[in-house]
Structures are given as structure tokens and as C-alpha cells.
Amino acid sequence: MNRQTRTALLFASPWLIGFSVFLAYPVAASLYYSMCDYSVLRPPVWIGTLNFRNLIKDEVFWISLKNTAIYAGMALPLGMATAIALALLLNTKVRGMTVYRTIFFLPSLVPTIPLAVLWLWVFNGEHGILNEVLRRVGLPAPNWLSDTAWSKPALALMALWGAGNAMVIYLAGLQDVPTEMYEAAELDGAGWWARTRNVTMPFLSPVILFNGIMGIIGTLQVFAEPYVMFPGGSPARSTYFYTMYLFDNAFIYHKMGYACAMGWIMFLIILVLTLVALRISEKHVHYQGG
């Protein structure tokens, strides 16, 4: 090994050590523990694929997976549509636009636990501000926190509070759309919707793909908000999500091997959905210069 190589490894060693200790080893260990009967309090005992076979027979596992899929199916498209709409509105040339952008982005900076407590009051069936507004306009006011039909939609609506993160990324993508394309479309008589559909969306498609994949990962790993707002997955386990069941197995039931197996199944689900999104994107995502 020559001096130049040693010097390069020396400078890279903090990252290499951090990667090995905080990522590579935990990933490898979780794979090993997923094949073990491991309670943390006792040494792991190798049991092969028994944890995975037991998961297939676990009714609560399927309930949590179903709840997570339903929530993701509501929160992901609703959140993406809201973020794109806000980005389009905040991309217009209006006086004081910097202030408006800041106002719409600030809610995404609120810490998770205070946010969950805040929304407990918003969704309160008797005195919540949301139901008060619905009553004033003559609409039914559901009991968001104790009705199984409304518990997951409540969390999906709450997820819109953090749309500011994706909005900023869309807003950055909109700055890269060539103005000459809009000018050419206007000369051809295209209206606002035609310009948005035929010019904005194709140029924005790589950003939509990125936020879509990040959204898949985020919605499938939802944890803190339902854990605070709906203890035990109430009502009737309608908000008992996959990560909540994983957490309970690991730290409440001390079934760390079982929880590791759940973690690897979640990894495979996210991997498959990401690959599907990338495959679909081959025909619908347009890269500049590509």
C-alpha cells in the first residue's frame, strides 16, 4: 500500500468507521437476529425461518399491514397533489411571495409529538375546531378519534400539515422549467391548464418520481403520530400500523428476532414498490437532455 492510498484511507476513516458501526453492522445483525429467537435479555438462539413462517400465520401482522396500506393509499396521493398545487400557486409572481412561501413551509418544522397533541385538539369530536367549522357550514361532524371509519382519514388529513417539505422540492423543480416553453405554448393558444399538463408536468416528472418514492417510504413507516394519538391502535385496531406492531414486538413483548423479521419484510415491500415505481417511470418521466 503506497503513501497516497494510506493518506486517502486515513481521511476516509471517520466515514468508514461510522458506516461500519452505525449502518453495516446493525443491518447484518438484524438479518441474523431475524433468524433467531432473541429477547435481548438472553443470547439469541438460531431458529432459521421460523419467525417469517409465524408472521404469515399472525393475524395482527396482516391487520397492521392492511391498515398501513390503506393509510398510504390515502395519504400519499393526497399529500403529493397538495404539495404540487401549493408549489404551483407559490411559483407565481405576486408581491410578498417570499412571505407566503415561508408561511406554508413553517408547519413542516413543528416537532412530531407537539404536532400530534395539537391535532388531538383539532380532531376532538365535541370541541375540536375542525368539527366546529363543519357544523357552521352545515356538514356532519364525525368523531374522528373514536370512529373506525374516520380514524385513518384523520391521519391522512393530518399528513397534509407536513406538505411543505415536498412543496419546496417541487418549487425548486419549477424553477428549471424553461420559460421559452411556456412562451411557445402561449403562442400556440394553450391556456393555463394546457400549459400545466403539457409543459410543467413533463419537466416536473423527475421531481414527482423522487417525492413519490420518498412518500412511499415515509407513509409505510408512519409511527409517531398514530402512536401518540391512538394508543394501542384504537379504535378497534383501525390505526394499528406496521411500525407500531414492530415496536411493540421489539420493546414491549421483547421479541427482537420477530421484530427484525418484520423489519426485513418491510424493507422488501419498500424495495418492490420502489422498483415498480422506477419501472413505471421509464415511460412517464422525462429528463432534460435525455
163: enclosing H helix or E strand: none
Q: What is the pLDDT of residue 253?
A: 94
Please, what are the domains in the chain?
57-284 (1.10.3720.10)
Question: How many whole angstroms separate alpha carbon 263 and alpha carbon 254?
Answer: 15
Question: 3-state DSSP call for residue 246?
Answer: helix
Which residues have C-beta within 8 Å of that of residue 112, sequence separation ≥ 6?
224, 225, 228
Nearest-angstrom CA–CA distance, 52 and 67: 20
End-to-end CA distance of the chain: 41
Using DSSP's 3-state secondary structure scheme, residue 142 falls into coil
Residue 189 φ then ψ, to 5°: 85, 15
Crossing angle of helices 59-89 and 164-174, in 10° steps, is: 50
Q: Average pLDDT per run of 10 along the chain, which is 290 residues long?
A: 86 93 95 95 94 96 97 96 94 88 91 92 91 92 93 94 92 89 86 89 93 95 94 93 96 95 97 95 77
C-alpha span between 73 and 156 (Å, rounded): 9
Chain-centre distance for alpha carbon 172? 20
Q: What one-character DSSP code corresponds to residue 200?
A: I
| pTM for this prediction | 0.92
111: Cβ contacts below 8 Å, ≥ 6 apart: none
pLDDT for the residue 41: 87
10 Å CB burial of residue 241 (0-12, 13-18, 19+) is: buried
